[in-house]
Chain A
Amino acid sequence: MSARNKELLNLGFAALVASAAFASVSIVGTGLVTTRWLGYVGVVFGLYLVAHIVARFTVPYADPTLLPLVGLLTALGLTVIYRLGPEDARRQAVWVALGIGVLAATLFWLRYDYRALERYKYIFGISAVVLLLLPSVPGLGHRVNGVKLWIKVGPMQFQPGELAKIFMIIFLAGYLRDKREALAQGRLKDLGPLLLIWGASMLVLVQTSDLGSALLNFGIFLAMVYAATGRLIYVVAGLGLFLAGSAALYNALDRVQQRVTVWLHPWTDERVYCSISGELDFRQNCDSYQLVKSLYSIANGGYGGTGLGKGTFTTVDGTQLIPYLNTDFIYSAIAQEVGLVGSAAVLLLVMVFVARGMRIALIAQDGFSKLLATGLTFGLALQTFIIVGGVLRVVPLTGITMPFVSYGGSSILSNFIMLALLLLVSNRAAATAVNR
């Protein structure tokens, strides 16, 4: 069977799984057993069918699992977002449609040779830094929840950091392909760029006071350096530098301090100073309110979950228990409704995606393609780890989105660009193998 026919089959299967989820939410919502949900499944997978047809023309040999996996992840995200607020789900569906538009445009634009991107690597590198610092520009930057990650132009607001991440991966793939031999020798003077990028990521950390995206970008950088040189010392040294830098900045950044305290001690037995109300209160009612409520939400799901649509997210009077539930905390909403068994499966979906991405990197023919696929895949993997780990209290919680699942326009659009690039690399690698 050809790759695209497999993809179609897998997409059909994903639609079936999503049907069970949509039906459940619809039945709980209306109290009646109806078939209204069929329309929603039709709309969502209609969009993916469009993406599939575009893929048939532009990337016929590409990996047949990526699109179906992403299809199911976005569908599950939509189910939970719909359940928390139908209005948001409608907006999210529009974002997914736009995302598939961007995917199609990227596939079409780069269908002959995406490696043309390598020629503009320095432009991508500089653009990434500019985009990262854009929210710090007075008048343009917009602070949401204490973190400066947004820019606002008229009624539109978006997170330039999401696009910067992709630009940085393209730059690093091109740059490291060029310099990998010099870096692999490990002379001291070659460490210059490493230190420079470490400095830049620290600067961005101070500017935006956002530990999550600093960690994500630096992590992608280290993974790509490791993939290019095969020298573990860079990873060890890089992580050491990052920890040392974070520790040095710890005292200067209130926000980072607060995040670490909440992570280590979410509950207190005595009333402590609460920066939100300015009075003494238990920490679980103050700084760590979100995290603690999210942990209760996960616990409430147990092994099998409450069933999709039946979780408890509001109090008796209708106020939402957990702020930012459909973005940062979407994993805890999923965990409550589908339980340990279901949320483990959601992580498995991501893991299969990552495994396929790494395989694409392995079979790709040239260094640029290999590094590009590694960077894109590792980026998605690390982002999922940081947010899911944050929600589960494995690492300090930082507000980033769960790729393809969380509510959010900038995130959905940039994730679809990353998917398009992976499909392009995969198509080229597989086409070369087929022509043999």
Chain B
Amino acid sequence: MFGNLDTEQTLLVLKIAFLVLLYLFIWAVVRSVTRDLRSAPQESIVLSAKEANELRARYEPVVPTPAARLLVLESPTLSPGSTVEIREPTRLGRGGENAIRLDGDDFASTRHAMLEPRFDGLWVEDVGSTNGTFVNGARVTTARLLVAGDIIRIGKTDLQVEA
């Protein structure tokens, strides 16, 4: 269909077009990820840890992270009816190095779940357990924000988030 076009001229056009398109592609790719970040403004596509912290400090004012309390509903290890206070990132599991140790719970993994109070509330994340971590019966796949009344199930242990 282009049989009547001059080959040399076409090649020259293609050569220039290729180089221009190549740079436009790089520009478009970088732009596609730097433009519409809603949470924090970003000047570069990679921030150093220091810059990221400065930006976070500026746009996410530091609110003291409130401690969360959990009511033990059922557990082979912890006594039902007692409460557990979470003030810092806390790992739960059967192993001895966990802050909350569930050594009598055969269905809990050595390292089971992480509970972390952040400024917006208590978060739970599964850290590679075998039998899974459940919130109100739904398996936790990524870090998840908890609300008061949520029931966390780890192995045979049930914990309820208190207001």
- Chains A and B belong together in one complex: yes
Interface residues of A (CB under 8 A from B): 1, 6, 9-10, 13-14, 16-17, 20-21, 23-24, 27-28, 31-35, 63-65, 68-69, 72, 112-113, 115-116, 118-119, 304-305, 307-310, 338-339, 341-342, 345, 348-349, 352, 355-356, 358-359, 362, 365-366, 428, 431-433, 435-436
Tell me if B22 and A113 are in contact (CB < 8 A).
no
Bound complex: CA of A14 vs CA of B145, how far in Å? 38
Residue of B whose beta carbon sits closest to that of A431: B142
Collect the chain A residues with CB atoms within 8 Å of residue B29's CB.
10, 13, 65, 68-69, 352
Interface residues of B (CB under 8 A from A): 1-3, 5, 7, 10-12, 14-15, 17-19, 21-26, 28-30, 32-33, 36, 39, 45-47, 49, 52, 120, 125-128, 141-145
Collect the chain A residues with CB atoms within 8 Å of residue B145's CB.
435-436
Enumerate the 8 nearest inter-chain pairs by beta-carbon distance, A residue then B residue, closest first: A33-B2, A20-B18, A307-B15, A24-B14, A17-B21, A345-B22, A432-B143, A33-B5
Tell me if A356 and B11 are in contact (CB < 8 A).
no
Tell me if B143 and A304 are in contact (CB < 8 A).
no
Residue of B whose beta carbon sits closest to that of A21: B18
Give the A-B contact count at a CB cut-off of 8 A. Answer: 121
Collect the chain A residues with CB atoms within 8 Å of residue B5's CB.
33
Bound complex: CA of A20 vs CA of B24, how far in Å? 13
Tell me if B14 and A27 are in contact (CB < 8 A).
yes
29 residue pairs A–B, Cβ–Cβ below 8 Å: A1-B36, A6-B32, A10-B25, A10-B29, A13-B25, A14-B25, A16-B21, A20-B21, A27-B14, A35-B2, A64-B32, A65-B29, A65-B33, A72-B25, A304-B15, A307-B12, A307-B14, A309-B11, A339-B19, A341-B19, A342-B18, A345-B19, A352-B30, A355-B45, A356-B45, A362-B49, A362-B52, A432-B142, A435-B142
Tell me if B18 and A10 are in contact (CB < 8 A).
no
Bound complex: CA of A338 vs CA of B23, how far in Å? 13
Minimum CB–CB distance for A321 against chain B, Å: 22
Collect the chain B residues with CB atoms within 8 Å of residue A24's CB.
11, 14-15, 18
Collect the chain A residues with CB atoms within 8 Å of residue B49's CB.
362
Bound complex: CA of A113 vs CA of B28, how far in Å? 31
Residue of A whose beta carbon sits closest to that of B36: A1
